[in-house]
Structure 1
Amino acid sequence: MAAAPSLDDPSTPPTAVAQLAAAEIARRTGVEQHDVALTLGSGWGRAAERLGEIVARIPAEEVPGFSASGIPGHSGTLTSVRLPNGSHALVVGARTHFYEGKGVRRVVHSVRAAAAAGAKVMVLTNGAGGIDPSWTPGTPVLISDHINLTAASPLEGATFIDVTDLYAKRLRDLAREVDPSLDEGVYVQFRGPQFETPAEVRMARAIGGTIVGMSTAIEAVAAREAGVEVFGISLITNLAAGISDSPLNHEEVLEAGRNAEDRLADLLSRIVHRIADDLAAR
């Protein structure tokens, strides 16, 4: 019997494993197509409960290409949700971070699997540090663009794609119909897992960044390659290093998320419902 396709085999196209994952998700959920997909970062975990009717929860490690999340604040499950308009959302609570050392293919597998499952929009959320001192912990900020400082790309071979409008303005405009007060900024992905130094934060600010974190940018590029629109939103969990005198720690990130989770879950659910209604009308 031939071995199953593996992301660790460089001769296996990563899309082949994504198709296997999508087929397993459809089998386990009974849902043929998920129209919207969400990756829930730190502070956003309760959003799945507010989106609609939970159809199924699947341990991530039981789906080809996925593994259990080893990061506090992540659920480690894939959840299928029926939205109020009858469409379906796939919620990924098992993000693989680049700093885990599992390779770029595993970092973006959830995005490719979501695209294979039919998603037309990928919602990427994260907990992040704010460079703008007016953003207090608990502030949600839309991502308008990114700077990738990991020196890694999910694209393989001579694959050239345009990322000029990677974070769709159309989707940001829909989000502002829900909450006109939402600010936006440029997300800078560092490799991690150490927090950024004050000098690195000054560099990020000098090159145009306003948000710093350890995820999202690589995933967004993979989504664009797959033909999926990207909506990004960060929870500012702390001021970035050097912006305030407070030391940084992961517990602070989790605490900021816990303090804001009800408000964030409500906000994100309303945004996703607005996006889903727009997709249905197109």
Structure 2
Amino acid sequence: MKFSEKIQQTRGYLLSRLDQYPSIGLVLGSGLGILAEEIENPIAIPYDEIPHFPVSTVAGHKGQLVIGDLKGKRVIAMQGRFHYYEGHSLEAVTYPIRVMKAIGVKQIIVTNAAGGINPNFKPGDLMIIQDHINLTSQNPLIGPNEEKFGGRFPDMSEAYSRKLADLTKEVAIKEKIKIVEGVYAGVLGPSYETPAEIKFLGIIGASAVGMSTVPEVIIAKHSGLEVLGISCISNMAAGISEHFLTHDEVMETTEKIKAQFLQLVKGILAAM
């Protein structure tokens, strides 16, 4: 079956379940799926019920789409995402972004938990992603290009919308939420980075590092979507942190800052 036919099948299934179509997509990272619980009049659809959807296997990723209303906007939220390190293809990792575009989404907010590299950061900080560095040696656009989805060579000069970043800063000031900005380095994982690798990432300009987001953003830009990226600095990276890194620490930090995270994103949605 052609890729475009798969997209149309998934689109048809989702639209058959909806009475209103979402305009904003939310990709919720490790421990950040709590935002989906705030959606009003929710329609929750487990990934394993959706044609051609992969299934998330990582702790902190519930594994369902939630569609409904949030702060006056019709949204579709991925409560759990897919990662290349789980064994998924990049086509599968980014499939939900293609589907969001197909059902009418115009803007997406991509969130993740990331390790802090900037020594001025601390666990619990929320970081606006200004730009990213793709260190995965992979690109989801490799292979034949279907023009109906986007051009062969998408421009990445503004992968993350400056307009939405400025809006986020305004909301943070209004809500008295500390916000930082920086460059996100995307790596494959699933092993955490070595201290030498973190030193290298700092030298080349990375402020934080994580194992997701970059493939989704590339596809979002290829699809013509406007992107806002927000990282939760869940721990300081290897060589900066004074202790060994664990996924439990990531979950603990995101639990501690969930109130601020919810307040920020809901404020952004209200202002969009």
TM-score, normalisation: structure 2 = 0.92
Matched, 1:46 2:34: yes
Find the aligned partners of 2:117 and 2:9 in 1 and give their Cα distance: 40
C-alpha distance after superposition, 1:119-140 (max 9, x if no partner): 1111110000001122221111
8 Å Cα contact 2:30/2:80 also seen in 1: no
5 Å-filtered alignment, 1:145-224, equals 145-155=131-141, 156-157=143-144, 159-180=152-173, 181-224=178-221
Alignment partner, residue 71 of structure 1: 58
8 Å Cα contact 1:45/1:261 also seen in 2: no
* Deviation at residue 24 of structure 1 after TM alignment: 1.5
Find the aligned partners of 2:190 and 2:14 in 1 and give their Cα distance: 30
Find the aligned partners of 1:90 and 1:260 in 2 and give their Cα distance: 22
Which of 234, 237, 241 is equivalent to 2:234? 237
8 Å Cα contact 1:131/1:211 also seen in 2: yes
Alignment partner, residue 8 of structure 1: none
Flag as ranges the 4+ runs of structure 1 deviating above 3 A: none
5 Å-filtered alignment, 1:251-262, equals 251-262=248-259
* Deviation at residue 174 of structure 1 after TM alignment: 0.9
Find the aligned partners of 1:48 and 1:171 in 2 and give their Cα distance: 20
Task: Name which of structure 1's ranges 185-194 and 19-28 shifts more when overlaid on structure 2.
Answer: 19-28
Alignment partner, residue 9 of structure 1: none
C-alpha distance after superposition, 1:55-83 (max 9, x if no partner): 30001111122133211001111000213
5 Å-filtered alignment, 1:132-151, equals 132-151=118-137
Task: Name which of structure 1's ranges 222-231 and 174-183 shifts more when overlaid on structure 2.
Answer: 174-183
Find the aligned partners of 1:43 and 1:274 in 2 and give their Cα distance: 24
Alignment partner, residue 127 of structure 1: 113
2:33 alignment partner, SS class: coil
8 Å Cα contact 2:235/2:241 also seen in 1: no
Find the aligned partners of 1:162 and 1:41 in 2 and give their Cα distance: 25
Find the aligned partners of 1:274 and 1:45 in 2 and give their Cα distance: 21
Alignment partner, residue 10 of structure 2: 21
Find the aligned partners of 1:84 and 1:147 in 2 and give their Cα distance: 32
2:60 alignment partner, SS class: coil
Task: Name which of structure 1's ranges 232-241 and 134-143 shifts more when overlaid on structure 2.
Answer: 134-143
Alignment partner, residue 246 of structure 1: 243
1:21 alignment partner, SS class: helix
Alignment partner, residue 37 of structure 1: 25
2:257 alignment partner, SS class: helix
* Deviation at residue 234 of structure 1 after TM alignment: 0.2
| Matched letter for residue 27 of structure 1 | S
Which stretches in structure 2 are left out of the alignment for 5+ residues? 146-151
Alignment partner, residue 79 of structure 2: 93
8 Å Cα contact 1:48/1:79 also seen in 2: yes
Task: Name which of structure 1's ranges 65-74 and 22-31 shifts more when overlaid on structure 2.
Answer: 22-31
Find the aligned partners of 2:229 and 2:210 in 1 and give their Cα distance: 13
2:92 alignment partner, SS class: helix
Matched, 1:82 2:69: yes
Q: CA RMSD in A?
A: 1.4
TM-score, normalisation: structure 1 = 0.88
8 Å Cα contact 2:85/2:190 also seen in 1: yes
1:46 alignment partner, SS class: helix
Find the aligned partners of 2:67 and 2:221 in 1 and give their Cα distance: 22
Size of the alignment, in residue pairs? 261
C-alpha distance after superposition, 1:189-239 (max 9, x if no partner): 110000011111111111111110000011100000111011100000000
